[in-house]
Amino acid sequence: MNTNRKVILVTGASSGIGEATARHLAAKGHHLVIGARRTDRLEKLAAELNAAGGSVEFASLDVTDLEDVRAFAGLALEKHGRIDVIINNAGVMPLSPLEALKIDEWNQMIDVNIRGVLHGIAAVLPVMKKQGSGQVINVSSIAGHAVWPTCAVYSATKYAVIAISDGLRQENTDIRVTVISPGVTTSELAHTITHDETAGFIDKFREVAIPAEAIAKAIGFAIDQPDDVDVNEIIVRPTASPN
């Protein structure tokens, strides 16, 4: 039995890093509330984890909708009376060169990758301040540290996640703030690319990848630290990755 069970929210939990993180943290005995748009996947995942002895609630979640995110946080409060950690993991990556002018996709990345993180923070910050403790874990990317052709807007959103996270850290002495920056990781992110030439380039780029479980373990490590230890950022990339 985990004597330090925490109430943890995970966004984007229906696949990839979010799903792997839910599995990892449930196995460690934490109380989870998982959210995503694909509730059929969430329901199946929650049932599997609960059958194995986990404590998992799920809810439909659109991180671009502030009231939806607030309701998601409210579910955790209703079930457990507190929120210890939020993992702002939901993200999209429809890469393309700027001259393709895929403006709707630019806006989608801004809405999900930046506003989604801000909405997560807004939903839990008052609760954590009242508790006098909490942890916000935001998933950025190696694209938040460097820019490559086709990823100008995506990188901009991930740089923003790092800036927002460090601002939040500096403004609070009672809340831990962690950025997780994955390198190429097995996920469905690349499936959202609609620009054919970019899709081919990314398929080659993603031939060297690490499993989502590696990122889940990094997240678990940050959560496991004592309350007075704040792991501010972890970059996790394939050993063989040149980028």
Domain span including residue 79: 7-236
Per the annotation, the verdict on 159 as an active-site residue is no
Task: State the pLDDT at residue 190.
Answer: 57
Asked if 73 and 48 touch (Cβ cutoff 8 Å), the reply is no
Task: State the pLDDT at residue 184.
Answer: 87
Rounded Cα–Cα distance for residues 25 and 9 (Å):
11
Identify the active-site residue in 135, 154, 181, 223.
Answer: 154
List the chain residues with pLDDT less than 70: 1-3, 187-191, 193-207, 242-243
Assess if residue 241 is contained within a domain. no
This prediction's pTM: 0.93
Rounded Cα–Cα distance for residues 150 and 83 (Å):
37
Q: How many domains does the chain have?
A: 1
Rounded Cα–Cα distance for residues 160 and 109 (Å):
11
Domain of 211, CATH number, reads 3.40.50.720
Task: State the pLDDT at residue 158.
Answer: 98
Assess if residue 219 is contained within a domain. yes
Task: State the pLDDT at residue 108.
Answer: 97
